[in-house]
Structure 1
Amino acid sequence: MAFAGGILVTTSVPALAISSNPAQSSALASSARSDNLDSQTLDVSAAVEVATIETDGYTVEAPPPPPPVEVAEVQAAPVGVLTSVAWPVLYPDRISDRFGPRIAPCSGCSTDHDGVDFNSGDGTPVMAVAAGTVISSTDAGGGYGVMIEIEHQVDGETITSLYAHMGYGSRLVDVGDAVVAGQQIGSIGSTGQSTGAHLHLEMYGIDGVRFDGYAWLAARLG
């Protein structure tokens, strides 16, 4: 039994623990834990030839074109005619007099207002309400003062817009000129039979009968 026990101790205890000499065991342990290991090196013979890659001999070819894709022929769709309109002034909600009956604001002013008076501010732009041709442009429009008239074709109808009381020297178009909707044609003033700076806008058809230009524009512009 003692022999068997000796075998068990010998085979199960690490080798470092077998020595009965403490100094020898310590030396062995230090040797096992030593970090002063020589690094590995590789000696290359001087006879080995280093190859060089030549790059000048390479060429780049463009990739082949993609295969053609057959597309069904598309017929051009008819283009509809879009009629564009615009407010004649900035801030079109600033109105001093609307279309229709009113109390005359001055001696000689009408009590049945043929247009609508916009108060956007002295010198602010006056714009064409739609594309058309200038048929009248003058600084001497009588009670209208500085005035311009433009004839339009809107929704198949001939309509004329009249811009009055504009400032002297502000007219930017002459008779025969073509204009587009929103194009500046003059500036607000207070010429002719006027009590203050504003744009007087009148609109009428081929019969010459005036209608409410503000309502006509609001119906199209919201």
Structure 2
Amino acid sequence: MSIGAMSVVGGLLLATSVPALAVTATDTEVRASVYAPAEDTLSVRPQSLDVGSEVALAPIDTEAWEVEAAPPPIESSVAGVGSVSLIETPRVVWPVDPSRISGGFGGRDAPCAGCSTFHDGIDFTPGVGSPIVSLADGVVITATESGGGLGVYVEVQHNIGGQLITSLYAHQQYGSLQVSVGQRVTAGQVIGAVGTTGQSTGPHLHLEMYGADGVRFDGLAWLQSHVTG
């Protein structure tokens, strides 16, 4: 009985401690262990692209490309603000509806006491309260309700064609100013409204224009040749 019991116990120990394949294998061929890591047999083939003989690759003509440097900005000094850069603007618009004009640039009979006999600007009469817009991109250098004979007025400096141009919008309504000194504006942006402040005989926009030398020129002729939309 004790020999038989020992045989059974030995068999149990063998069954629980030795892998089954090691006991049941009957062939004598050497084989890899089932516990050995598998070998990576993945083979990666390089990709290729076949192009038909009828496809022609056109060479790039390097002579067809031109590179132009952007024009340099104009540096301007704004009182109380300091130096500002004015980027050249390609768009110029009418400040108001140009279909009604009551006074041109140049010599004239003084229309009121204290009015000059040489008109420095153009008088547009689109109607009281009509919006006034900046004629081009720029920076506001004056915006005041205490402009003496000019009444409520705004000045904007622009870089147009590489030249420093200033536009002045006078006789605006009190309380209508929409801009302040140092503010950047864009072409067509509302800056105020038509009024009759200062030395004025009726509601109108008095528009003056001048260059870096401060000399006024005919704004109507200039706008007719520069307005783009």
TM-score by length of 1: 0.64
Q: Is it true that 1:104 corresponds to 2:110 in the alignment?
A: yes
Misfit runs of 4+, over 3 Å: 70-82
Q: Which has the larger radius of gyration?
A: 1
Q: Is it true that 1:194 corresponds to 2:203 in the alignment?
A: no
The separation in 1 between residues aligned to 2:136 and 2:89, in whole angstroms, is 11
How much does 1:220 deviate?
Answer: 1.7
The separation in 2 between residues aligned to 1:74 and 1:85, in whole angstroms, is 37
The percentage of counterpart residues that share the same residue type is 54
How much does 1:82 deviate?
Answer: 5.9
Corresponding position of 1:173: 179
The separation in 1 between residues aligned to 2:60 and 2:100, in whole angstroms, is 53
The separation in 2 between residues aligned to 1:74 and 1:195, in whole angstroms, is 65
Corresponding position of 1:133: 139
Match among 121, 131, 136 for residue 127 of structure 2: 121
- The 8 Å contact of residues 173 and 195 in structure 2, kept in 1 or not, is answered as yes
Structure 2 vs 1, CA of residues 202 and 73 (structure 1 numbering), >3 Å: closer, same or farther?
A: same
Structure 2 vs 1, CA of residues 74 and 83 (structure 1 numbering), >3 Å: closer, same or farther?
A: farther
Question: What is the RMSD computed on CA atoms of the aligned residues?
Answer: 2.4
TM-score by length of 2: 0.62
How much does 1:221 deviate?
Answer: 2.7
The separation in 1 between residues aligned to 2:106 and 2:119, in whole angstroms, is 5
The separation in 2 between residues aligned to 1:212 and 1:93, in whole angstroms, is 17
Match among 184, 188, 204 for residue 210 of structure 2: 204
The separation in 1 between residues aligned to 2:59 and 2:152, in whole angstroms, is 59
More strand by share: 2
The separation in 1 between residues aligned to 2:152 and 2:186, in whole angstroms, is 20
Unaligned runs of 5+ in 1: 1-66
The separation in 2 between residues aligned to 1:77 and 1:219, in whole angstroms, is 29
Encode CA deviations 1:32-82: one digit per residue, 9 max, x unaligned: xxxxxxxxxxxxxxxxxxxxxxxxxxxxxxxxxxx9xx9988999758776
